[in-house]
């Protein structure tokens, strides 16, 4: 089946056929997206994009982080940018990108504009995210490695699907919306390290709102924007990985959540060490094996700033075992670099590259001062029971937002009774 037809069928999936496991994760993504957005709203890029929206003004259709009302398109731009400002949001590794920050701002903005029930917004997000994953997987490593940012590119198509679903676009209109997205979607990895990176998430979201609205107005486009002649795939270096996941069901179930405010490459080690539960001061030596790609990224031997601590296996191993709250972005201070206990601990952490570990895995041994050797291993891709993940995400929200974060996660059971507008009132105010 042509990808465009697969996506169009997907977009029309009846709500009662959506897999329950995926819907649970979609709710988690909503709450985690809200957590990241509320936590990021004072970041410089978030303030600037709000100033842009305030200058532009327009119909009061949808709420932004920071409490502006704006047209749906503009709210999507602000909220995607704001929620990605801390880079603390969810990741789907096969998609190669971040799903909630590109798609929930679009779905929420249109949901609020239409006064839709939140359950429809969540279903629309799930279908948009699944569309973005399938498109992202097919764009593949070639697209990413050459310089495109799937969060923005595949994400725009996902946002288009989510918004189009909420607007009730017909099959033919959704096809036109995807065709329009093929000429609208953009986003480069050259923005990494600048405010352009979070902006890319906002672009995905706002492009999705526009393309669905344009199609609803009857603006015509290419018949197959993805694989048609001069379509998005042939122009944007699509090169699907031969090992691309192909299976029944929703790839969205593999979505991963960032639980610690440090480099993702250190998270498997942190989980492995925490699972041992050994006391910091009883550890003599740690031997860690990790995918070689991470050695150049997060093995800072002598961090000089709090930011560099986020990329230091040695420091983070010590912090994890002594109980520092690694989900609290305020914990990564410059003063940590002068913490003699951590520095001494880090000297006893030995890191080596190991091609048998995927980039989501870590393995090793902890040698205790009493001579006991404790092997550990963690795979971030391994399924995590929903209740465990819920507890970890609630802890993350509480670290970031204190009581507001706990109250946000307490809403989980009521989400299906709320409208999109209600949710903003309960969560953000």
Sites of contact with a copy of itself (CB under 8 A): 44-45, 48-49, 51-52, 55-59, 71, 73-74, 146-149, 152, 179-180, 182-191, 194-196, 199-200, 203, 210, 213-214, 217-222, 225, 228-232, 234-235, 237
Residue 78, class by beta-carbon neighbours within 10 Å (0-12 exposed, 13-18 middle, 19+ buried)? buried
Q: How far is the CB of 213 from a copy of itself (least distance, A)?
A: 6
Q: Which residues of 133-160 are buried (b: 16+ CB within 10 A; e: fewer)?
A: bbbbbbbbbebbeeebbbbbbbbbbbbb
Q: C-beta of 220: minimal distance to a copy of itself in Å?
A: 4
Q: Which is nearer to a copy of itself, 221 or 266 (CB)?
A: 221
* CB nearer a copy of itself, residue 170 or residue 230: 230
Tell me the closest approach of the beta carbon of residue 49 to a copy of itself, in angstroms: 7
Distance of closest approach, residue 402 Cβ to a copy of itself, in angstroms: 29
Of 71 and 405, the one with the shorter C-beta distance to a copy of itself is: 71
Least Å from the CB of residue 238 to a copy of itself? 12
- Beta carbon nearer to a copy of itself, 197 or 267: 197
Cβ-based nearer residue to a copy of itself, 61 or 312: 61
Closest residue by Cα to residue 76 from 53, 42, 44: 53
Q: 185 vs 351, which CB is nearer to a copy of itself?
A: 185
Residue carrying the six token digits 């809200």: 34
User: Please, which residue, 66 or 364, has the CB nearer to a copy of itself?
Assistant: 66
The residue among 40 and 327 lying less far from a copy of itself, judged by its C-beta, is 40
Write down how long the chain is: 429
Reduced 3-state DSSP string for the chain: CCHHHHHHHHHCCCHHHCCHHHHHHHHHHHHHHHHHHHHHCCCHHHHHHHHHHHHHCCCCCEECCCCCEECHHHHHHHHHHHHCCCCCCCEECCCCECCHHHHHHHHHHHHHHCCCEHHHHHHHHHHHHHHHHHHHHHHHHHHHHHCECCCCHHHHHHHHHHHHHHHCCCHHHHHHHHHHHHHHCCCEHHHCCCCHHHHHHHHHHHHHHHHHHHHHCCCCCCCCCCCCCCCHHHHCCCCCCCCCCCCCCCHHHHCECCCCCCCHHHHHHHHHHHHHCCCHHHEEEEEEEECHHHHHHHECCCCCCHHHHCCEHHHHHHHHHHCCCCCCHHHCCHHHHHCHHHHHHHHCEEEEECCCCCCCEEEEEEEECCCCEEEEEEECCCCCCHHHHHHHHHHHHHHHHCHHHHHHHHCHHHHHHCEHHHHHHHHHC
Closest by alpha carbon to 164, among 120, 198, 200?
120
Q: Which is nearer to a copy of itself, 37 or 364 (CB)?
A: 37
Q: What is the nearest approach in angstroms of a copy of itself to the Cβ of residue 164? A: 15
Structure token digits, residue 42:
């004072």
Nearest residue (CB) to a copy of itself, 114 versus 320: 114
CA distances from 71 to 134, 176, 286 (A): 29, 22, 53
Shortest reach from residue 229's CB to a copy of itself, in Å: 6
Residue 40: CB minimum distance to a copy of itself, A: 15
Structure tokens at 229: 């002649």
| Least distance from a copy of itself to the Cβ atom of residue 199, Å | 7
Q: How far is the CB of 15 from a copy of itself (least distance, A)?
A: 27
In the complex, the smallest distance separating the C-beta of residue 36 from a copy of itself, rounded to whole angstroms, is 19
The residue among 127 and 177 lying less far from a copy of itself, judged by its C-beta, is 177
């Amino acid at each position: 089946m042509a990808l465009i037809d697969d996506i169009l069928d997907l977009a029309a999936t009846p709500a009662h056929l959506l897999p329950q496991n995926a819907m649970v994760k979609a709710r988690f993504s909503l709450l985690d997206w809200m957590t990241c957005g509320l936590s990021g709203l004072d970041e410089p890029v978030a303030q600037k994009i709000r100033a842009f929206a305030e200058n532009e003004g327009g119909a009061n259709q949808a709420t932004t982080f920071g409490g502006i009302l704006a047209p749906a398109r503009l709210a999507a731009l602000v909220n995607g940018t704001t929620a990605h400002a801390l880079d603390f949001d969810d990741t789907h590794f096969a998609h190669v990108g971040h799903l909630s920050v590109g798609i929930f701002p679009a779905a929420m903005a249109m949901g609020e504009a239409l006064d839709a029930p939140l359950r429809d917004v969540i279903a629309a997000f799930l279908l948009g995210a699944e569309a973005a994953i399938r498109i992202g997987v097919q764009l593949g490593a070639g697209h990413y490695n050459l310089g495109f940012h799937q969060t923005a590119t595949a994400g725009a198509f996902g946002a288009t699907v989510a918004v189009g679903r909420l607007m009730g676009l017909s099959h033919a209109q959704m096809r036109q919306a995807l065709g329009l997205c093929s000429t609208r979607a953009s986003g480069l990895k050259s923005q990494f390290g600048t405010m352009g990176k979070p902006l890319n998430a906002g672009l995905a979201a706002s492009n999705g709102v526009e393309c669905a609205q344009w199609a609803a107005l009857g603006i015509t486009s290419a018949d197959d924007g993805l694989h048609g002649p001069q379509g998005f795939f042939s122009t944007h270096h699509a090169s699907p990985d031969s090992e691309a996941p192909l299976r029944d069901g929703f790839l969205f179930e593999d979505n991963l959540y960032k639980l610690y405010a440090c480099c993702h490459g250190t998270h498997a080690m942190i989980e492995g060490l925490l699972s041992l539960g050994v006391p910091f001061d009883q550890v003599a030596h740690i031997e860690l094996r990790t995918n070689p790609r991470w050695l150049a990224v997060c093995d800072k031997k002598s961090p000089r700033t709090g930011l560099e601590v986020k990329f230091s296996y040695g420091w983070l191993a010590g912090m994890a075992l002594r109980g520092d709250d690694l989900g609290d972005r305020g914990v990564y201070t410059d003063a940590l670099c002068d913490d003699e206990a951590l520095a001494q601990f880090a000297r006893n952490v030995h890191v080596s590259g190991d091609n048998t570990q995927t980039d989501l895995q870590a393995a090793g041994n902890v040698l205790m001062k009493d001579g006991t050797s404790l092997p550990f291993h963690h795979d971030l891709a391994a399924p995590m029971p929903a209740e465990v993940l819920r507890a970890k995400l609630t802890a993350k929200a509480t670290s970031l937002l204190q009581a507001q974060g706990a109250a946000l996660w307490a809403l989980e059971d009521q989400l299906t009774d709320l409208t999109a507008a209600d949710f903003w009132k309960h969560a953000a105010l």
